[in-house]
């Protein structure tokens, strides 16, 4: 394989049946590709759904027509849902935030240190609080206020701002509920961090409700956003042990640490094409 070879990622989901891996591998071999990693999973070998993620290297001169040949020669035959991504093309991320900065700061830190396999391209907020923080990194900051009665206008402004500029939207504690119309029109996946171990304590005030119930664990959940509040496919979760002695402020402080890590991992895995959606669940390789 020449030094100029590009690394590609292929993600596949389809009805499970014999011969899928063989067909994909044979196609890649015949195309001159070298497989460097392969992961697979089946929900059930009989009438289940099969998931596959392959990384492979391909010489640039063999790229032309590659996707079309795979679609006609393999994907159509196995009724595959599939996507192909060149690893060197880092996904562009737009971040939406309100008045809690811990997840935003963590994403900025990972991005500036080169630890995030993506490019942050802009930050938008319904408040002005973090303009200085964001602009100090060289990123554009956009203030899109949301007031009672003008939410459709604010969402329209956000859609115009995001159009064609990003491959992923991350809600880093953006405390606004996005409408179904927005989600239909934005055209890219949206990942949210919720400060609770879903499905427990969905919606507002989860730490306060956790304290009322006397829970011994608090957690965070990163999930894809759907029209149903805090009910989209879960990507990553984590928890921290707490006790009766922790007040709400202590729960919030400990939970914020968990939120940062959970969101960072979920965004990284999405940008590395490790996440495949399956109904209202995910497969994460």
> pLDDT at position 2, please?
65
| pLDDT value of residue 148 | 85
263 and 158 part of one domain: yes
Q: In this predicted model, what pLDDT tens digit does every residue of 178-215 receive, in sequence order?
A: 999 999 999 999 999 998 888 888 888 999 998 999 99
Question: ∠26-27-33 over CA atoms, to 5°?
Answer: 95
Q: Are residues 136 and 30 in the same domain?
A: no
Residue 113: the pLDDT is 96
Q: Report residue 1's pLDDT band, with 50, 70 and 90 as the boundaries.
A: low
Q: What is the pLDDT of residue 167?
A: 98
Q: Is residue 280 part of a domain?
A: yes
Residue 106: per-residue pLDDT: 98
Task: Tell whether the model's pLDDT for residue 227 goes beyond 70.
Answer: yes
Mean pLDDT over each residue of the chain, to the nearest integer:
95
Q: Tell whether 97 and 74 lie within a shared domain.
A: no
Question: Is the confidence at residue 3, as pLDDT, over 90?
Answer: no
Percent of the chain with pLDDT over 90: 88
d(CA 198, CA 224) in angstroms, rounded, equals 13
Token code pair at residue 235: 């990507």
Q: What's residue 4's pLDDT? A: 83
Q: Which of 50, 67, 86 is the last residue of a domain?
A: 86
CA–CA separation, 11 and 39 (whole Å): 10
Nearest-angstrom CA–CA distance, 268 and 261? 11
> 58, 86, 114 — which closes off a domain?
86
Based on the fold, state whether residues 43 and 127 are members of the same structural domain.
no
List 167, 230, 246, 273, catalytic entry: 230
pLDDT at 188: 97
- Strand arrangement, sheet containing 34-42: 34-42, 49-58, 6-15, 81-86
Residue span of the structural domain in which 236 resides? 91-284
Let me know if 44 is exposed, middle or buried by CB neighbors in 10 A (0-12, 13-18, 19+): exposed
Quick one: the chain helix, strand, coil %, rounded to 5? 30, 30, 40
Whether 166 contacts 94, CB under 8 Å: yes
Give domain status of residue 1, yes or no. Answer: no
**Average pLDDT, integer, range 164-175:** 97
pLDDT tens digits, residue range 60-101? 989 899 999 999 999 999 999 999 999 999 999 999 999 999
Query: Residue 262's domain is classified under what CATH number?
Result: 3.40.50.170
3-state secondary structure of 138: coil
- Domain assignment of residue 150, yes or no: yes
Q: Convert the pLDDT of each residue in 243-280 to its tens digit.
A: 999 999 999 999 999 999 999 999 999 999 999 999 99
Burial string for 210-229 (b: 16+ CB within 10 Å, else e) reads: bbeeebeebbbbbbbbbeee
Q: Give me the percent of the chain exceeding a pLDDT of 70.
A: 99
230 belongs to the catalytic site: yes
pLDDT per residue as tens digits for the range 104-158: 999 999 999 999 999 999 999 999 999 999 999 999 999 999 988 899 999 999 9
Residue 284 reports pLDDT greater than 80? yes
Closest CA to 238 of 257, 219, 210, 266: 219
Among the candidates 86, 108, 125, a domain finishes at 86
Q: What is the pTM of this model?
A: 0.93
* One domain for residues 120 and 210: yes
Q: Which helix (H) or strand (E) holds 88?
A: none
């Amino acid at each position: 394989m020449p030094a100029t070879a590009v690394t590609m990622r292929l993600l596949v989901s389809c009805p499970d049946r014999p011969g899928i891996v063989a067909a994909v591998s044979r196609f890649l071999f015949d195309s001159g590709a070298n497989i460097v990693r392969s992961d697979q999973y089946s929900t059930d070998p009989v009438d289940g759904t099969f998931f596959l993620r392959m990384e492979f290297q391909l010489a640039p001169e063999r790229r032309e027509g590659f996707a079309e040949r795979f679609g006609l020669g393999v994907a159509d035959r196995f009724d595959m849902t599939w996507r192909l991504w060149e690893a060197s093309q880092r996904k562009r991320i737009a971040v939406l935030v309100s008045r809690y900065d811990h997840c935003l700061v963590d994403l900025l830190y990972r991005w500036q240190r080169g630890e995030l396999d993506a490019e942050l391209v802009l930050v938008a907020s319904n408040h002005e609080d973090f303009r200085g923080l964001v602009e100090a990194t060289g990123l554009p900051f956009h203030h899109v206020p949301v007031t009672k009665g003008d939410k459709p206008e604010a969402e329209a402004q956000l859609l115009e701002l995001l159009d064609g500029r990003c491959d992923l939207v991350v809600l880093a504690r953006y405390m606004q509920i996005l409408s179904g119309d927005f989600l239909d029109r934005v055209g890219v996946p949206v990942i949210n961090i919720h400060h609770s171990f879903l499905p427990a304590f969905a919606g507002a005030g989860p730490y306060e409700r956790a304290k009322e119930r006397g829970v011994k664990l608090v957690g965070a959940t990163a999930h894809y956003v759907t029209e149903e509040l805090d009910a989209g496919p879960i990507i990553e979760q984590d928890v921290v042990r707490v006790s009766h002695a922790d007040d709400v402020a202590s729960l919030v402080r400990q939970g914020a640490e968990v939120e940062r890590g959970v969101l960072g991992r979920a965004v990284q895995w999405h940008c590395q094409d490790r996440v495949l959606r399956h109904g209202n669940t995910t497969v994460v390789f």
